Amino acid sequence: MAPATTVIRVGTAEAAGVGVTRGELRVGDTPDGEAVTIPVAIVRGAGEGPVLWINGCVHGDEFCGAFIIHEMLRTLDATSLSGVVVALPILNITASQRGQRMSPFATFGFGDLNRCFPGNPGGAFTDQMAHAIYSPLRQYADYFIDFHTALTPDTRWALFANAPGDVGRKSEGIARAFGLKSTLPAPMDILGGSSMIAAARDGIPSLIVEMGGIGPAFERETVLEGAERLRNVMRHLGMLAEKPTEHGPLTYFSNFAWVNATRGGLFERAVQCGERVDKGTLVGRYIGAHGDIVEEVKSPHAGIVLAINPGPAMATGDVLVHIGLDPRDT
Amino acid sequence: MATLRIGTAVLDGTGIARGYLKVGDMPDGRPMQIPVLLAQGARPGPTLWIHGCVHGNEACGAFVVHRLMRELDTATLSGTIVALPILNITAFRSKARMSPFEGFSGGDLNRAFPGKADGTLTEQMAHAIYTELKAHAGYLVDLHTAMTADVRWALFPNAPGEVGQKSESMARAFGFNSTLPAPIDILAGSAMMVAARDGIPGLIVEAGGKGPAFTAALVSDVVERLRNVMRQIGMLTGTVAQHGPLTYFSNFAWVRAVQGGLFQRAVQCGERLKAGTVLGHYYDLWGQPTGEALSPQAGVVLAIHPGPIMARGETLVHIGLDPREV
């Protein structure tokens, strides 16, 4: 919790009193020597309360999160807020400008920002970016939410750091307040280098939200819904006064399985996100260049579809389907 | 029945043949080749040439061609179909509009017809494709997409005499409500306009958006409309479905963005616009509104930028001008 007298400083955004402060955080330099800066908005409430830190576009083409964060910021009234919201809607700005996952300045295989946390001030471009972002996050954040998308507009799931003790319990609390039906209590040994796991190890309860698809593949309704679920987390944390909505039992998983394509071609999916699959359920069809159906792809696992490749074309090794394992209602 | 041969696809008599047409060389010396399907019906009739993915990221057209050919029964077909589902194969692989191997000329294949045997890569591709098209096609359908999944319009060459009349009858049998009788002096270098000048009636279909932005329902709808075109030109039996009056335009206007930023559209394809209608909203990096994009002209939305980000100069909106029911 940030005492009312403490100035919160993230880059050029300095929040000393009640209200909204906007600024930029320098995360690197371009090859021509210009500063790479990312947007920071700090909303400081009239009441005391926790610091909720929210990130979007860790992967540059996952814009739905930025739009959710923006929607929430535009509708947030600092006078009715207890605590502080620190929002960085577009982390990987040079990737976002190009509409791609990783920065064009990333070198030698260190391009996935969500595998680089807590970062390294003497590392590769993306390591240095992670370091610049994670340092103030660790300093200020009491709770952390990281917005992602998968591949298609119907993506809707979340995962929280299933850490021992208080951190895990509080992470689960924000996951339940966010309330997407498909939710993974993430084992602490997966997603090494993600900001969620790094923050949880540093004692910060954390949640990753996966809503919408890459690029323009998301609906306005998803943005509005994501913003409302975010406000519900803030109610749960006592940052907004209303009573939080109860979402009822969620479907938890033991883990997830990434299934990569072992052949290439045109592809048509046969399942939707959230759908139950058995081992052997048809998940899609490969189509040859002449239009012949060359293979029906069966799910190698039972579970629930978290993400599915939309096609229309896929090379070997692309993510075919992402499956939540051992679903159980809790 | 004479042997039909395009590239390695060879067909003697009724049935379907598959093969490849060489359109260039890869940088490693392997052939750059594109898929070809030939279908010959049990009875004589015209030759319909259909191609997709002139622009590599307009995959909806390939799926339309594929479904049409999978569902085709040559026993009930009169005439011949030549189908090339993926023209710009190296662009398709890169999920990009233009080939990654194009050096200097921009690489828009639909501005490169009839092509040039010793020109740039894209001009040589156009030449290899158009040489066969000119030799075989009785009618041409060219499948495109715009940017968003709700795109549905068509255009035909408004050429003098029989070519224009036959093109219009194809467009009416296809029957998308928004249809442009395209002035013959626009879209120079497009396969449709070049073919029209060579006496081949044609139609460009714009259905669906870039990459994965299209639905299976749209693919099925376009395939059924193509079958209706085939009924119209006597390749399939059955009554030609009448789509009723269409909305014709005098021309279209491309409107470029003069502001960049995060963008959220406010209109759908097919919607009527006045000069001054709000097309969408711009936001800065912090989510604050930074302006509205207003339509500079009245008309009907043919294509609209989906956002979520836009640089200056991108296509903001594509407007069909002077809509009238015909």
Non-local CB neighbours of A174 within 8 Å, separated by 6+ positions:
A143, A145, A160, A205, A207, A233, A236, A237
Rounded CA-CA distance A241/A245 in Å is: 12
B105 has a pLDDT exceeding 90? no
Is residue B203 a contact partner of residue B173, using CB atoms and an 8 Å limit? Answer: no
Q: Which residue of B has its CA nearest to A40?
A: B286
Q: Which CATH class is domain A8-236?
A: alpha beta
Q: What pTM did the predictor assign?
A: 0.93
Q: Quick check: B213 and A216 CB within 8 A?
A: yes
Q: Quick check: A73 and B287 CB within 8 A?
A: yes
Partners of A186 in the beta sheet? A161
pLDDT at B230: 98
Rounded CA-CA distance B165/B159 in Å is: 8
- Rounded average pLDDT over B155-169: 98
Q: Quick check: A290 and B93 CB within 8 A?
A: no
pLDDT at B2: 80
Give the domain ranges of chain A: 8-236, 253-329
Give the mutation candidate from A91, A290, A293 for the B interface (greatest B CB count, under 10 A): A290
Rounded CA-CA distance B157/B185 in Å is: 9
Q: Quick check: B308 and A66 CB within 8 A?
A: yes
DSSP A212: S
Q: Count CB neighbours of A1 within 10 A.
A: 12
pLDDT > 70 in chain B, percent:
99
Rounded CA-CA distance B50/A165 in Å is: 64
pLDDT at B312: 94
* Partner residue opposite B285 with nearest CB, options A64, A74, A89: A89
Cβ burial of B1 (10 Å; 0-12, 13-18, 19+) is exposed
Give the mutation candidate from B11, B18, B84, B286 for the A interface (greatest A CB count, under 10 A): B286
Give SS3 for B77: coil
- Give how far B201 is from chain A: nearest CA, Å: 25
Residue at B282: amino acid letter: Y
pLDDT at B104: 72
- Give how far B85 is from chain A: nearest CA, Å: 7
- Average pLDDT along chain A, 330 residues, taken 10 residues at a time: 76 96 97 95 97 98 98 97 98 96 84 95 94 98 98 98 98 98 97 97 98 97 98 98 97 96 94 97 96 95 97 93 97
- Give how far A249 is from chain B: nearest CA, Å: 32
pLDDT at A2: 58
| Distance set, CA B209 to CA A239, B137, B176, B212, B217 (Å) | 41, 27, 16, 7, 14
pLDDT at A122: 92
Q: Which residue of A has its CA nearest to B58?
A: A312
Among A157, A120, A127, which Cα is nearest to A274's?
A157
Buried b (16+ CB within 10 A) or exposed e, B54-63: bbbbbbbbbb
pLDDT at A1: 59
Give the mutation candidate from B11, B20, B71, B285 for the A interface (greatest A CB count, under 10 A): B285
Chain B CB within 8 Å of residue A90 CB: yes
pLDDT at A107: 78
Residues of B with CB under 8 A from a CB of A: 18, 34-35, 37, 59-60, 62-63, 65-67, 69-70, 85-86, 89, 92-93, 95, 148, 211-214, 216, 262, 264, 283-288, 306-309
Q: Count CB neighbours of B247 within 10 A.
A: 18
Is residue A218 a contact partner of residue A64, using CB atoms and an 8 Å limit? Answer: yes
Q: Quick check: A312 and B212 CB within 8 A?
A: yes
Q: Quick check: B308 and A22 CB within 8 A?
A: no
* Partner residue opposite A312 with nearest CB, options B63, B69, B288: B63
| pLDDT, averaged across chain A | 96
Chain B CB within 8 Å of residue A217 CB: yes
Q: Which residue of A has its CA nearest to B37?
A: A290
- Rounded average pLDDT over B95-115: 90
How would DSSP label each residue in B182-249?
A: E-TTSSTT-HHHHHHHTT--EEEEEES-STT---HHHHHHHHHHHHHHHHHTTSS-SPPPP----EE-
Non-local CB neighbours of B210 within 8 Å, separated by 6+ positions:
B57, B58, B145, B146, B147
Q: Quick check: A313 and B95 CB within 8 A?
A: yes
* Partner residue opposite A290 with nearest CB, options B37, B211, B214: B37
Q: Quick check: B69 and A312 CB within 8 A?
A: no
Report pLDDT digits (tens) over B299-316: 999 999 999 999 999 999
Report pLDDT digits (tens) over B215-238: 999 999 999 999 999 999 999 999
On whether the A253-329 domain is CATH 2.40.50.100, my answer is: yes
- Rounded average pLDDT over B45-73: 97
